[in-house]
Amino acid sequence: MPSLLIKHAVILVTMDDHRREIPDGGLFIRDGFIEQVAPTCELPSEADEILDISGHILLPGLINTHHHFYQTLTRAVPAAQDANLFNWLKTLYPIWGRMKPEDIRVSTHTALAELALSGCTTASDHLYIYPNGARLDDEIDAAREVGLRLHASRGSMSLGESKGGLPPDAVVEDEAFILKDSQRLIEQYHDPGPGAMVQVVLAPCSPFSVTPELMRQSAALAREYGVHLHTHLAETQDEEAFCVQKFGYRPVAYMDLLNWVGEDVWFAHSVYVNPEEISLYAQTGCGVAHCPSSNMRLASGIMPLVEMLQAGVKVGLGVDGSASNDGSQMLGEARQALLASRVRAGMLGASLSGEGTPPMLTARQALEVATRGSAAVLGRRELGSLAPGKCADFFAINLQRLEYAGGLHDPVAAMVFCAPVKADYTVVGGKFVVKAGELVTLDLPRQVEAHNRAARRLVAEA
């Protein structure tokens, strides 16, 4: 691959080990990896391709640690607008059960397009429903066409209503098949090497939709192959009550019992965790995907983000599925993380009466969660910061815009405090996915039309 020189960023935010922010910064890139990060005057003056981004701020690509791409087909569905998690799921399961392989493809394109335009360069997706012949392969193939790195989770549901689970029997799968298909997908697609475009993750959906046996066997299989494990955990009080009643344990203790803790495990949400459970995450290396918009949308609660960071838990950012957000805007999500944590700080401060407000999450901390934090959660040392040897994954935003007018006293903070905007450049492994504000890998108007057609069909058949 040719060399690429990026020069004259107003500020280059490295998120490196020293958190350097370089005025008039640039990058020299070869073969998809960064060779140099420095003030422009210290970089080589020649390269196969040169881009002058004067007037722009440049950051490491944002990394999304939890999503359900297929849910972009069921945003703002009227019957699921004002429901809590369990009722929301029961309303949507039958609609999702009508999806076909082409719906997985079209929704993957839409979600990744939206993510790329918000500065995202790596996305994890949790696909746990496979109706009408749909396969994880459909998503992996579609993702290649957009050009973002993908952590494709082979999700699963096996505990139907007739066995005491939440999903209808029609959308759950046979456990022997789930494990066989998981093994096939790892062998076919998982790339453990640096700069991998696709990694496979095993991800039984949640305590209320799979059996303990499937959790155990998925963990054993994942460890045999060295792939990561992911599930929803401690998202709501309903889930906590379900675990205590059905299994006799709180959600985190239940995971511990099933051998589902360690550096190779990350949980979505973890809103309802106590200080001992936070310590367990920190000691064992469990990661968390923080999805503030979804937690607010479904009235689930506010995750103890600052407490987790203080305890040394690896926390990344996630937009969650688009039926509970209802968007894939990573800068917007970083803003939500900052605001939600401050609501929590205020509420805790009030309840402590006179002892002051707990520390506030800063804009830079919110960006750090979305970059370095997310990379650590996914186990990707070569992502999340800009330094020699790291992947050339970054995005840039033109600062001369209405949304940032009057906010350029601190452009880095403005990206979080001001209204979320679209990226002008998004680059993955040295290749442009967004250039001069346009997605270069898809025809967006045609994509939106095809997506709306698929969404109308799914909901009209209800």
Binding residues for Zn ion (CB under 5 A)? 320
Pairing between β-strand 120-127 and β-strand 62-64 as defined by DSSP bridges: parallel
For 129-197, what is the HEC assignment? CCHHHCCHHHHHHHHHHHCCEEEEEEEECCCCHHHCCCCCHHHCCCHHHHHHHHHHHHHHHCCCCCCCC
Task: For Zn ion, give the closer residue by CB, 277 or 320.
Answer: 320
Task: Phi first, then psi: give them for residue 96, nearest 5 degrees.
Answer: -65, -30
Task: For Zn ion, give the closer residue by CB, 320 or 368.
Answer: 320
Task: For Zn ion, give the closer residue by CB, 318 or 373.
Answer: 318
Minimum CB–partner distance for residue 289 and Zn ion (Å): 8
Minimum CB–partner distance for residue 224 and Zn ion (Å): 26
Minimum CB–partner distance for residue 320 and Zn ion (Å): 5
Minimum CB–partner distance for residue 179 and Zn ion (Å): 22
Please identify which residue in the block is written with the tokens 């949980």.
267
Minimum CB–partner distance for residue 321 and Zn ion (Å): 5
Task: For Zn ion, give the closer residue by CB, 14 or 374.
Answer: 374
Cα separation of 12 and 116, whole Å? 19
Cα separation of 11 and 119, whole Å? 16
Contact partners, residue 283, CB within 8 Å, separation at least 6: none
State how far the alpha carbon of 195 is from the alpha carbons of 47, 183, 314, in Å: 22, 22, 21
Task: For Zn ion, give the closer residue by CB, 128 or 395.
Answer: 128
Minimum CB–partner distance for residue 366 and Zn ion (Å): 20
Task: Phi first, then psi: give them for residue 143, nearest 5 degrees.
Answer: -65, -35
Cα separation of 335 and 292, whole Å? 9
Task: For Zn ion, give the closer residue by CB, 295 or 441.
Answer: 295
Task: For Zn ion, give the closer residue by CB, 69 or 404.
Answer: 69
Minimum CB–partner distance for residue 125 and Zn ion (Å): 10
Q: Which residue is nearest to Zn ion (CB)?
A: 320
Cα separation of 216 and 285, whole Å? 19
